[in-house]
A and B are shown apart, each in its own frame.
Chain A
Protein backbone atom coordinates (compact mmCIF):
# COMPACT_ATOMS: atom_id res chain seq x y z
CA UNK A 1 0.00 0.00 0.00
CA UNK A 2 2.77 2.40 0.95
CA UNK A 3 4.49 1.92 -2.40
CA UNK A 4 1.28 2.65 -4.23
CA UNK A 5 0.80 5.84 -2.23
CA UNK A 6 4.34 7.00 -2.90
CA UNK A 7 3.85 6.26 -6.58
CA UNK A 8 0.75 8.39 -6.71
CA UNK A 9 2.06 11.20 -4.54
CA UNK A 10 5.40 11.23 -6.30
CA UNK A 11 3.74 11.92 -9.61
CA UNK A 12 1.70 14.76 -8.20
CA UNK A 13 4.09 16.21 -5.64
CA UNK A 14 3.73 19.96 -5.85
CA UNK A 15 4.76 20.74 -2.28
CA UNK A 16 8.49 20.66 -3.06
CA UNK A 17 7.93 23.22 -5.82
CA UNK A 18 6.01 25.40 -3.39
CA UNK A 19 8.75 25.10 -0.81
CA UNK A 20 11.41 26.17 -3.26
CA UNK A 21 9.41 29.14 -4.49
CA UNK A 22 8.78 30.29 -0.96
CA UNK A 23 12.44 29.93 -0.02
CA UNK A 24 13.50 32.19 -2.85
CA UNK A 25 10.73 34.68 -2.31
CA UNK A 26 11.08 34.94 1.45
CA UNK A 27 14.85 35.16 1.27
CA UNK A 28 14.32 38.19 -0.91
CA UNK A 29 11.56 39.69 1.24
CA UNK A 30 13.43 39.12 4.52
CA UNK A 31 16.51 40.65 2.96
CA UNK A 32 14.52 43.80 2.39
CA UNK A 33 13.92 44.17 6.10
CA UNK A 34 17.66 44.42 6.67
CA UNK A 35 19.63 46.16 4.00
CA UNK A 36 18.32 47.88 0.91
CA UNK A 37 17.55 45.65 -2.04
CA UNK A 38 20.59 45.35 -4.28
CA UNK A 39 18.61 45.02 -7.47
CA UNK A 40 16.51 48.05 -6.57
CA UNK A 41 19.62 50.07 -5.95
CA UNK A 42 21.12 48.96 -9.25
CA UNK A 43 17.96 49.85 -11.10
CA UNK A 44 17.72 53.31 -9.56
CA UNK A 45 21.40 54.08 -10.10
CA UNK A 46 21.46 52.80 -13.67
CA UNK A 47 18.54 55.04 -14.54
CA UNK A 48 20.14 57.98 -12.75
CA UNK A 49 23.40 57.54 -14.63
CA UNK A 50 21.74 57.20 -18.01
CA UNK A 51 19.52 60.21 -17.44
CA UNK A 52 22.60 62.32 -16.71
CA UNK A 53 23.75 61.70 -20.25
CA UNK A 54 20.50 61.37 -22.10
CA UNK A 55 17.03 62.75 -21.53
CA UNK A 56 15.00 59.66 -20.77
CA UNK A 57 11.32 59.36 -21.54
CA UNK A 58 9.86 57.40 -18.59
CA UNK A 59 7.46 55.75 -21.01
CA UNK A 60 10.40 54.27 -22.85
CA UNK A 61 11.99 52.55 -19.88
CA UNK A 62 11.22 48.90 -19.27
CA UNK A 63 12.60 47.11 -16.25
CA UNK A 64 12.36 43.36 -15.87
CA UNK A 65 13.56 41.29 -12.97
CA UNK A 66 13.85 37.64 -12.26
CA UNK A 67 14.96 36.73 -8.76
CA UNK A 68 16.47 33.28 -8.51
CA UNK A 69 17.86 31.18 -5.73
CA UNK A 70 21.51 31.90 -6.45
CA UNK A 71 21.43 34.39 -9.27
CA UNK A 72 18.99 37.18 -10.03
CA UNK A 73 18.68 38.97 -13.33
CA UNK A 74 17.95 42.64 -13.82
CA UNK A 75 17.10 43.77 -17.31
CA UNK A 76 16.81 47.47 -18.10
CA UNK A 77 15.61 48.47 -21.54
CA UNK A 78 15.89 52.17 -22.39
CA UNK A 79 14.99 53.73 -25.68
CA UNK A 80 17.31 56.68 -26.21
CA UNK A 81 16.60 59.48 -28.70
CA UNK A 82 17.49 59.19 -32.37
CA UNK A 83 15.46 56.00 -32.42
CA UNK A 84 18.43 53.88 -31.39
CA UNK A 85 17.47 51.32 -28.75
CA UNK A 86 20.17 50.26 -26.37
CA UNK A 87 19.77 47.39 -24.01
CA UNK A 88 21.71 47.18 -20.77
CA UNK A 89 21.71 43.92 -18.89
CA UNK A 90 23.14 43.69 -15.39
CA UNK A 91 23.61 40.59 -13.36
CA UNK A 92 23.61 40.67 -9.57
CA UNK A 93 24.35 37.79 -7.27
Chain B
Protein backbone atom coordinates (compact mmCIF):
# COMPACT_ATOMS: atom_id res chain seq x y z
CA UNK B 1 0.00 0.00 0.00
CA UNK B 2 1.47 3.34 -1.02
CA UNK B 3 1.94 5.94 1.66
CA UNK B 4 1.63 9.68 1.15
CA UNK B 5 3.69 11.59 3.70
CA UNK B 6 3.69 15.38 3.85
CA UNK B 7 6.83 17.06 5.18
CA UNK B 8 5.64 20.34 6.58
CA UNK B 9 6.37 22.87 9.29
CA UNK B 10 4.59 26.19 8.93
CA UNK B 11 7.78 28.07 9.62
CA UNK B 12 10.20 28.60 6.76
CA UNK B 13 13.84 27.66 6.74
CA UNK B 14 13.65 24.87 9.31
CA UNK B 15 14.75 22.06 7.04
CA UNK B 16 11.71 20.71 5.20
CA UNK B 17 13.34 20.39 1.82
CA UNK B 18 16.60 19.05 3.23
CA UNK B 19 14.63 16.53 5.26
CA UNK B 20 12.41 15.50 2.36
CA UNK B 21 15.51 14.79 0.29
CA UNK B 22 17.30 12.98 3.10
CA UNK B 23 14.29 10.87 4.09
CA UNK B 24 13.51 10.11 0.46
CA UNK B 25 17.05 9.03 -0.29
CA UNK B 26 17.21 6.92 2.88
CA UNK B 27 13.98 5.13 1.93
CA UNK B 28 15.31 4.51 -1.58
CA UNK B 29 18.57 3.20 -0.16
CA UNK B 30 16.49 0.65 1.74
CA UNK B 31 14.95 -0.57 -1.48
CA UNK B 32 11.66 1.30 -1.34
CA UNK B 33 10.44 3.10 -4.46
CA UNK B 34 10.07 6.76 -3.64
CA UNK B 35 8.91 9.95 -5.33
CA UNK B 36 9.54 13.33 -3.75
CA UNK B 37 7.15 16.08 -4.85
CA UNK B 38 7.97 19.78 -4.55
CA UNK B 39 4.76 21.68 -3.75
CA UNK B 40 6.21 25.16 -3.80
CA UNK B 41 4.60 27.40 -6.39
CA UNK B 42 7.13 29.78 -7.80
CA UNK B 43 10.28 28.87 -5.89
CA UNK B 44 11.78 25.52 -6.78
CA UNK B 45 14.13 24.05 -4.20
CA UNK B 46 13.91 20.31 -4.02
CA UNK B 47 15.51 19.88 -7.43
CA UNK B 48 18.49 21.93 -6.30
CA UNK B 49 19.00 19.95 -3.11
CA UNK B 50 18.87 16.71 -5.10
CA UNK B 51 21.26 17.99 -7.75
CA UNK B 52 18.67 17.66 -10.52
CA UNK B 53 18.35 21.36 -11.29
CA UNK B 54 19.82 21.02 -14.74
CA UNK B 55 17.41 18.35 -15.84
CA UNK B 56 14.06 19.88 -15.12
CA UNK B 57 11.80 19.92 -18.16
CA UNK B 58 8.25 19.74 -16.85
CA UNK B 59 6.86 20.43 -13.40
CA UNK B 60 3.87 19.72 -11.16
CA UNK B 61 1.78 22.53 -12.60
CA UNK B 62 2.52 21.46 -16.17
CA UNK B 63 1.03 18.09 -15.25
CA UNK B 64 -1.99 19.70 -13.56
CA UNK B 65 -2.54 21.80 -16.67
CA UNK B 66 -2.26 18.77 -18.92
CA UNK B 67 0.75 20.16 -20.75
CA UNK B 68 2.74 17.12 -19.76
CA UNK B 69 2.07 13.62 -18.58
CA UNK B 70 3.25 12.58 -15.14
CA UNK B 71 5.79 10.20 -16.66
CA UNK B 72 7.30 13.05 -18.65
CA UNK B 73 7.70 15.28 -15.63
CA UNK B 74 9.22 12.69 -13.29
CA UNK B 75 13.00 12.88 -13.06
CA UNK B 76 14.93 9.86 -11.94
CA UNK B 77 17.87 10.34 -9.55
CA UNK B 78 21.15 9.44 -11.20
CA UNK B 79 22.55 7.76 -8.12
CA UNK B 80 19.54 5.99 -6.63
CA UNK B 81 17.36 4.31 -9.23
CA UNK B 82 14.43 4.02 -6.81
CA UNK B 83 14.28 7.76 -6.18
CA UNK B 84 12.27 10.07 -8.41
CA UNK B 85 11.48 13.76 -8.30
CA UNK B 86 8.43 15.74 -9.41
CA UNK B 87 9.72 19.30 -9.49
CA UNK B 88 7.86 22.46 -8.56
CA UNK B 89 6.77 25.14 -10.92
CA UNK B 90 8.45 28.48 -11.34
CA UNK B 91 5.20 30.24 -12.12
CA UNK B 92 3.93 32.92 -9.78
CA UNK B 93 0.29 31.96 -10.32
CA UNK B 94 -0.86 30.19 -7.17
CA UNK B 95 -4.28 29.49 -8.65
CA UNK B 96 -2.68 27.22 -11.23
CA UNK B 97 -2.30 24.52 -8.58
CA UNK B 98 -5.79 23.09 -8.15
CA UNK B 99 -7.21 20.68 -5.60
CA UNK B 100 -8.60 18.44 -8.30
CA UNK B 101 -5.32 18.42 -10.19
CA UNK B 102 -3.36 17.45 -7.10
CA UNK B 103 -5.89 14.77 -6.22
CA UNK B 104 -5.47 13.10 -9.59
CA UNK B 105 -1.69 13.28 -9.53
CA UNK B 106 -1.46 11.82 -6.03
CA UNK B 107 -3.82 9.04 -7.09
CA UNK B 108 -1.63 8.23 -10.08
CA UNK B 109 1.56 8.39 -8.00
CA UNK B 110 0.04 5.89 -5.55
CA UNK B 111 -0.05 3.31 -8.31
CA UNK B 112 3.61 3.77 -9.16
CA UNK B 113 5.46 4.25 -5.86
CA UNK B 114 5.71 2.85 -2.33
CA UNK B 115 6.29 6.28 -0.82
CA UNK B 116 5.18 9.72 -1.91
CA UNK B 117 6.92 12.46 0.06
CA UNK B 118 5.35 15.88 -0.38
CA UNK B 119 7.72 18.75 0.34
CA UNK B 120 5.47 21.53 1.59
CA UNK B 121 6.30 25.19 1.17
CA UNK B 122 6.35 27.39 4.28
CA UNK B 123 3.21 29.15 5.40
CA UNK B 124 -0.40 28.08 5.38
CA UNK B 125 -1.48 29.16 1.93
CA UNK B 126 -2.47 27.11 -1.06
CA UNK B 127 0.76 25.22 -1.70
CA UNK B 128 1.04 24.19 1.94
CA UNK B 129 -2.62 23.23 2.16
CA UNK B 130 -2.52 21.16 -1.00
CA UNK B 131 0.70 19.46 0.06
CA UNK B 132 -1.06 18.13 3.17
CA UNK B 133 -4.52 17.63 1.74
CA UNK B 134 -4.12 14.02 0.58
CA UNK B 135 -1.57 12.88 3.14
CA UNK B 136 -1.77 9.65 5.12
CA UNK B 137 1.00 10.73 7.46
CA UNK B 138 2.84 13.91 8.31
CA UNK B 139 6.35 14.78 9.39
CA UNK B 140 6.36 18.13 11.13
CA UNK B 141 9.84 19.60 10.95
CA UNK B 142 10.57 21.77 13.98
CA UNK B 143 13.60 23.72 15.18
CA UNK B 144 14.16 24.07 18.93
CA UNK B 145 13.03 27.69 18.76
CA UNK B 146 9.83 29.34 19.92
CA UNK B 147 8.35 30.58 16.66
CA UNK B 148 9.07 27.29 14.94
CA UNK B 149 7.29 25.39 17.70
CA UNK B 150 4.27 27.66 17.57
CA UNK B 151 4.04 27.38 13.80
CA UNK B 152 4.35 23.60 14.07
CA UNK B 153 1.48 23.59 16.52
CA UNK B 154 -0.61 25.56 14.04
CA UNK B 155 0.21 23.12 11.28
CA UNK B 156 -0.69 20.18 13.50
CA UNK B 157 -4.08 21.77 14.05
CA UNK B 158 -4.55 22.09 10.31
CA UNK B 159 -3.53 18.50 9.69
CA UNK B 160 -6.41 17.56 11.94
CA UNK B 161 -8.93 19.67 10.09
CA UNK B 162 -7.91 20.55 6.56
CA UNK B 163 -6.95 17.15 5.23
CA UNK B 164 -9.22 14.76 3.39
CA UNK B 165 -8.53 12.16 6.06
CA UNK B 166 -9.58 14.52 8.84
CA UNK B 167 -12.72 15.45 6.94
CA UNK B 168 -13.57 11.76 6.76
CA UNK B 169 -13.07 11.40 10.50
CA UNK B 170 -9.82 9.46 10.11
CA UNK B 171 -6.50 10.33 11.70
CA UNK B 172 -3.43 11.58 9.91
CA UNK B 173 -0.50 9.95 11.70
CA UNK B 174 1.79 12.75 12.81
CA UNK B 175 5.45 12.77 13.77
CA UNK B 176 7.70 15.58 14.95
CA UNK B 177 11.17 15.73 13.43
CA UNK B 178 13.46 18.05 15.37
CA UNK B 179 16.16 19.54 13.17
CA UNK B 180 19.10 21.87 13.80
CA UNK B 181 19.46 20.48 17.29
CA UNK B 182 22.56 21.92 18.92
CA UNK B 183 23.40 19.85 21.98
CA UNK B 184 25.93 22.33 23.38
CA UNK B 185 23.40 25.15 23.37
CA UNK B 186 20.73 22.81 24.71
CA UNK B 187 22.89 21.76 27.65
CA UNK B 188 23.56 25.43 28.43
CA UNK B 189 19.82 26.03 28.46
CA UNK B 190 20.01 28.34 25.47
CA UNK B 191 17.75 26.22 23.36
CA UNK B 192 14.32 24.72 23.96
CA UNK B 193 14.75 21.18 25.20
CA UNK B 194 13.37 18.12 23.43
CA UNK B 195 11.01 17.55 26.34
CA UNK B 196 9.71 21.13 26.14
CA UNK B 197 8.98 20.75 22.45
CA UNK B 198 7.25 17.40 22.82
CA UNK B 199 5.22 18.60 25.78
CA UNK B 200 3.97 21.57 23.84
CA UNK B 201 3.28 19.72 20.59
CA UNK B 202 1.97 16.52 22.19
CA UNK B 203 3.00 14.53 19.12
CA UNK B 204 5.36 11.53 18.89
CA UNK B 205 9.02 12.18 18.07
CA UNK B 206 10.35 10.76 14.80
CA UNK B 207 13.95 11.82 15.23
CA UNK B 208 16.45 14.47 16.28
CA UNK B 209 18.74 15.76 13.56
CA UNK B 210 21.80 17.57 14.86
CA UNK B 211 22.99 20.87 13.45
CA UNK B 212 25.85 19.94 11.20
CA UNK B 213 28.08 21.15 8.44
CA UNK B 214 27.42 17.89 6.61
CA UNK B 215 23.97 19.13 5.71
CA UNK B 216 25.32 22.31 4.17
CA UNK B 217 27.97 20.41 2.28
CA UNK B 218 25.39 18.01 0.94
CA UNK B 219 23.17 20.74 -0.47
CA UNK B 220 26.23 22.52 -1.89
CA UNK B 221 27.01 19.49 -4.00
CA UNK B 222 23.41 18.57 -4.69
CA UNK B 223 23.29 15.24 -2.93
CA UNK B 224 21.03 14.33 -0.01
CA UNK B 225 23.07 14.03 3.19
CA UNK B 226 22.13 10.38 3.65
CA UNK B 227 23.82 9.71 0.33
CA UNK B 228 26.64 12.19 0.42
CA UNK B 229 27.94 11.25 3.85
CA UNK B 230 26.04 8.28 5.18
CA UNK B 231 28.26 7.95 8.25
CA UNK B 232 27.67 11.51 9.45
CA UNK B 233 25.52 12.19 12.49
CA UNK B 234 22.63 13.80 10.60
CA UNK B 235 22.62 11.00 8.01
CA UNK B 236 22.41 8.37 10.69
CA UNK B 237 19.68 10.29 12.45
CA UNK B 238 17.69 10.52 9.21
CA UNK B 239 18.18 6.80 8.59
CA UNK B 240 16.89 6.02 12.08
CA UNK B 241 13.92 8.30 11.42
CA UNK B 242 13.10 6.42 8.24
CA UNK B 243 13.24 3.13 10.08
CA UNK B 244 10.75 4.49 12.57
CA UNK B 245 8.53 5.67 9.71
CA UNK B 246 8.55 2.13 8.44
CA UNK B 247 7.32 0.90 11.79
CA UNK B 248 10.56 -0.25 13.33
CA UNK B 249 11.21 0.58 16.94
CA UNK B 250 14.59 2.32 17.12
CA UNK B 251 16.11 3.74 20.28
CA UNK B 252 16.23 7.53 20.08
CA UNK B 253 19.75 8.92 20.01
CA UNK B 254 20.02 12.39 21.46
CA UNK B 255 22.99 13.98 19.68
CA UNK B 256 25.87 14.58 22.06
CA UNK B 257 28.08 17.59 22.18
CA UNK B 258 30.30 17.88 19.17
CA UNK B 259 33.88 17.14 20.06
CA UNK B 260 36.40 19.92 19.79
CA UNK B 261 38.59 20.76 16.87
CA UNK B 262 41.63 18.78 17.98
CA UNK B 263 39.67 15.57 18.37
CA UNK B 264 38.24 15.97 14.92
CA UNK B 265 41.67 16.54 13.53
CA UNK B 266 42.83 13.32 15.07
CA UNK B 267 40.03 11.47 13.36
CA UNK B 268 37.76 10.85 16.30
CA UNK B 269 34.21 11.41 15.12
CA UNK B 270 31.50 12.73 17.38
CA UNK B 271 28.30 10.77 18.05
Contact = CB atoms under 8 A, between A and B. Distances in A.
Q: Does B associate with A?
A: yes
Interface of A: 4, 8, 12, 14-15, 17-18, 21, 24-25, 28-29, 43, 58-59, 61-68
B54 A68 contact: yes
A67 B220 contact: no
A25 B48 contact: yes
Contact of B217 (A12, A58, A62, A65): A12
B69 interface: yes
Contacts of B71: 59, 62
A18 B221 contact: yes
B57 interface: yes
Contact of B222 (A15, A21, A43): A21
A82 B54 CA distance: 33
6 contacts: A14-B220, A18-B220, A18-B221, A25-B53, A62-B72, A64-B57
Interface string B196-217: 0000000000000000000011
A43 B68 CA distance: 13
Nearest to B73: A63
Contacts of B90: 29
Q: Which of B55, B57, B58 has the most CB of A within 10 A?
A: B57
User: Majority SS of interface residues in chain A?
Assistant: helix
Nearest to A32: B90
A63 B75 CA distance: 10
Interface range on chain B: under 10, 10 to 19, 20 to 34, or 35 or more?
Answer: 20 to 34
Nearest to B71: A59
A64 B265 CA distance: 44
B55 A64 contact: yes
Given A8-B265, A12-B217, A14-B220, A21 B53 contact: yes
B266 to A, nearest CB: 12
A61 B72 contact: yes
A63 B55 contact: no
Contacts of A64: 55, 57
Q: Which 6 A-B pairs have the closest CB atoms?
A: A18-B220, A14-B220, A14-B217, A67-B54, A17-B221, A25-B53
A57 to B, nearest CB: 10
Contacts of B57: 43, 63-65
A17 to B, nearest CB: 5
B72 to A, nearest CB: 6
A67 B51 CA distance: 12
Nearest to A21: B222
A4 to B, nearest CB: 7
A12 B264 CA distance: 13
Q: Of B53, B56, B58, B216, which is in contact with the most chain A CB atoms at under 10 Å from its CB?
A: B53
Contacts of B221: 14, 17-18
A18 B219 CA distance: 8
